[in-house]
Amino acid sequence: MASDDPFDNETVAAILARVVWIVNPVLDVLATFDPLGLRERTKEPDDDRELLDIPGHVLDAAAWVLNTATVPGTKAWDEMDVTARTRWWVIRVGAVNNLVVAYPAVFGAIADLLPVQAALGYGNQAIVLCAVAREYGLTDTEDQVRMLAQVLNKRVINERMTLPEAPNEPEPNWTPFVLAKTLWRIGKMVRGLSDELGKRPHPTKRYTYLGRLPYVGIVADYIGEFGALERAAADGQRWATANLPTV
């Protein structure tokens, strides 16, 4: 008997592999971009050092701000456990992206006729889940694809499944809009998954109903999508814990 499912595991895995290839270089930029050496300065401040004619105390003040925000690569980040780091990606990155996810709700129920918000919500969860995987040492494309498939698509991907070869793309540059651009790019890539987008952790019915109201809906959708993002991250942690690489 033929299946009603238009997507097989191999098709979903191939799409998720492309998502992973987009996300990881951006996460690398977010985790390492440090042209003034401020992240290292949080660990070994040097008041006598000057860089680009900027006095040392100014650099130390900027480094203190980064350390207070527990940015990856700082002393405060190194002192955090994996659960706290996962929470950072949800709060600092996922919450910002969530503004883009919730924006279509400003149009109320009309937004429900388009797959834009579902695709963006899926993309935001994918970005955070890849970050979670990395914090647990799961950096291989195969592992991240399997995590995304399980959490977002409720599919179990075989470890031996062959994935397409990664494209040779230029490294992303740091800009204030690098996350938003990545989110939109993923959204365009996955919106063809149709019913697959509805399998991800999604807002509760209360926020879904409120999200249909014009203007008010954007607030309800933001809160609802953020709760869904937190659940996706928690599911990702459980999956990562169960699939930690053996030493």
**Mean pLDDT in order along the chain per 10 residues (247 residues):** 66 92 91 66 57 57 64 78 92 84 57 68 94 94 95 89 78 80 88 84 79 74 89 96 77
Phi, psi of 54 (to 5 degrees): -95, 125
pTM: 0.81
DSSP 8-state secondary structure symbol assigned to residue 197: G
Instruction: Enumerate the domain spans of the chain.
Output: 9-32+80-242, 35-72
Q: How far apart are CA 196 and CA 21, in angstroms?
A: 20
Phi, psi of 51 (to 5 degrees): -140, 125
Whether 211 and 224 have beta carbons less than 8 Å apart is answered as yes
pLDDT of the residue at 76:
78
Which residues have CB under 8 Å from 46's CB, separation 6+? 56
Whether 171 and 25 have beta carbons less than 8 Å apart is answered as yes
Helical H segments across the chain, by residue range: 9-32, 38-41, 56-68, 75-78, 82-88, 95-102, 116-135, 141-153, 178-190, 205-210, 216-242
CA distance to 18, 57, 95, 150, 209, per residue, from 156 (Å): 18, 53, 28, 6, 31
Q: How far apart are CA 10 and CA 163, in angstroms?
A: 8
* SS3 of 17-72: HHHHHHHHHHHHHHHHCCCCCHHHHCCCCCCCCCECCECHHHHHHHHHHHHHCCCC
- Paired with 54 in beta bridges are 51
**Letter string b/e over residues 15-26, b meaning 16 or more CB atoms within 10 A of that residue's CB:** bbbbbbbbbbeb
pLDDT of the residue at 118:
84
CA distance to 127, 159, 169, 183, per residue, from 17 (Å): 12, 13, 14, 15
Structure tokens at 180: 């938003």
Structure tokens at 167: 């494209």
Q: How far apart are CA 201 and CA 87, in angstroms?
A: 17
